[in-house]
Amino acid sequence: MNNLLIKDIKIAIIGGGPGGLTLARLLQLQGASVKVYERDIDQHQRQQGATLDLHDESGLKALTAAGLIGEFKKHYRPGADRLKLMDEQGNVVFSDHDEKLADDFGHPHFRPEIDRGPLRSLLINSLTENTMQWNSQFVSMEQLNQQWLMHFKNGKTDLADLVIAADGANSKIRPYLSAIKPIHSGLSVIEGHIHHAQESAPQLNMRLQNGKIFALGKEKSIILSAKGDGSLSFYAGLKSTANWIEESGIDFNNKSSVFNWFKTAFSDWNPLWEELFTADEVYFVARAMRHFPLDQSWETQSNLTMLGDAAHLMPPYAGEGVNMAMLDALELSNSLTNVRFSSLKEAISTFEQYMCKRSAEVTAFTLEQTEALHAENALPYLVELFSDQD
């Protein structure tokens, strides 16, 4: 390893999710000058979304390289990877809750779960003071000599020699690299988050047992995840057109509007699941499941690149999104500090070529899984899949 490529340059990472934070940590271990620009007001803003399962060959590999696997083991949730498979009537057709619990770090099928908040916190706490630039929502940037002059919504500007987009599915920086637009997968989901699930959704919370539920039937899905703070997150997925969310007429800020949609769209499901949409403290977000073309590429620049969802968005049904972002961070940091590269452009080009190839393979697999989980025989397919795992 060698630091010549990143010596005496200012590196800006746009986005403080797991990918961007992992990259910041890895680069700081190599002596780089790094700032992370994050739109949130501070570290304590609530982290919504399902729990994250990290994989041995990607997310956990990156944390190990970052020297943070010990911290991860302090904050992950043993048993949160426990799973029940259910049909649309609420019948359990598979459960691993009675199997012996084993923390098999290093086993390819062991995918420990951690809530987004604790993962983010352990990454942030590993960074040097003043790395995080809070309340810094990216607006635009332009070239100034060999640097980027970045503009933020708070009115501030800053200069960087190298900008890395880690700003997610709706990246504002991706267009500076690529004009390729995402493709609709044929599926949309309503994401929900219920606070105080024991009181607000007691029947489903009891069935969760602090783990996960995959309910499949009638070419639709509901996936639930318990969280360590007593809340639960869920995705209700169904086949749709690309513009369904905009054309549906549903007010996703109105609980009654969403509930009326659910009672119609999932009318062939047991009323048990309605509890998700009638909880006292619940919020909804509609998401069209999109992905980038498998053959995407772009012209490498010497002072700009991207990782994670900004680079290779994909549906969440294989649990690969966060893992690919963290692996991107590891591979990019390795490229930027590799002695065999004589320029930043060469290092970035090698990283991007390999990332595009790897992410294309993972996206293809994820799309296969997404389709399989919303097919007529989805439930027996998934039961067989989990039953075959050691």
Residues 270, 192 share a domain: yes
Which one, of 99, 83, 88, lies nearest residue 51 by Cα?
Answer: 83
Tell me whether residue 53 is annotated as binding: yes
Backbone angles phi, psi at 122, to 5 degrees: -65, -30
Residue 79 pLDDT exceeds 70 = yes
Same-domain check for residues 206 and 170? no
Residue 253 lies in a domain: yes
Q: Which amino acid is at 85?
A: L
In a domain, 263, yes or no: yes
Is 145 within a domain? yes
* Same domain for 264 and 321: no
Are the beta carbons of 149 and 196 closer than 8 angstroms?
no
Q: Which of 2-6, 16-20, 110-114 has the highest mean pLDDT?
A: 16-20
Instruction: Specify if 143 maps to a domain.
Output: yes
pLDDT at 208: 95
Interval 45-51 mean pLDDT: 71
With beta carbons less than 8 A apart as the criterion, state whether 291 and 314 touch.
Answer: yes
Looking up residue 154, the CATH number of its domain turns out to be 3.50.50.60
Annotated binding-site residue? 390? no
Pair (199, 281) in one structural domain? yes
280 assigned binding-site residue: no
Residues 267, 189 within the same domain: yes
CB 229 within 8 A of CB 116: no
Higher pLDDT, 134 or 79: 134
Give the phi and the psi of residue 123 in degrees, each rounded to 5: -70, -45
Cβ atoms of 26 and 66 within 8 Å: the answer is yes
Domain boundary residue among 242, 266, 291?
Answer: 291
Closest C-alpha among 269, 374, 11, 368 to residue 165:
11
How many domains does the chain contain in total? Answer: 2
Q: Are residues 137 and 22 in the same domain?
A: yes
**Do 189 and 281 sit in the same domain of this protein?**
yes
- Cα–Cα distance, 94 to 281 (Å, whole number): 30
- Give SS3 for 235: strand
50 pLDDT above the threshold of 90: no
pLDDT digits (tens, 9 = 90+) for 109-156: 788 999 999 999 999 999 999 999 999 999 999 999 999 999 999 999
Is residue 167 part of an annotated ligand binding site? no
38 falls within a domain: yes
Q: Render pLDDT for 318-375 as a digit per residue (tens, 0 to 9).
A: 788 999 999 999 999 999 999 899 999 999 999 999 999 999 999 999 999 999 999 9
**Where does the pLDDT of residue 1 fall: very low under 50, low under 70, confident under 90, or very high at 90 and above?**
very low
Tokens of 353: 């070529």
Q: Is residue 310 part of a domain?
A: yes
Distance of CA 196 to the CA centre of its chain: 23
Q: Could you tell me if residue 389 is inside a domain?
A: no
CB atoms within 10 A of CB 154: 12
Question: Residue 151 pairs with which residues in a beta bridge?
Answer: 140, 157
Nearest to 38 by CA among 151, 172, 137: 137
pLDDT, tens digit, 9 for 90 and up, residues 291-311: 999 999 999 999 999 999 999
The DSSP-derived string for 319-384 is S-HHHHHHHHHHHHHHHHT-TT-SSHHHHHHHHHHHHHHHHHHHHHHHHHHHHHTTSTTHHHHHHH
Q: Are residues 364 and 276 in the same domain?
A: no
Rounded CA-CA distance 319/316 in Å is 5
Whether residue 287 sits in one domain with residue 248: yes
Residue 244: inside a domain: yes
Both 156 and 232 in one domain: the answer is no
pLDDT above 70: percentage of residues in the chain: 97
Q: Looking at the structure, do residues 338 and 284 belong to the same domain, yes or no?
A: no
| Helix, strand, coil abundance in the chain, percent, nearest 5 | 35, 25, 40
Statement to judge: residues 159 and 25 lie in one domain: yes
Residue 165, Cβ density class (10 Å: 0-12 exposed, 13-18 middle, ≥19 buried): buried
Domain boundaries, position 255: 183-291
How many CB atoms are closer than 10 A to CB 160?
A: 23
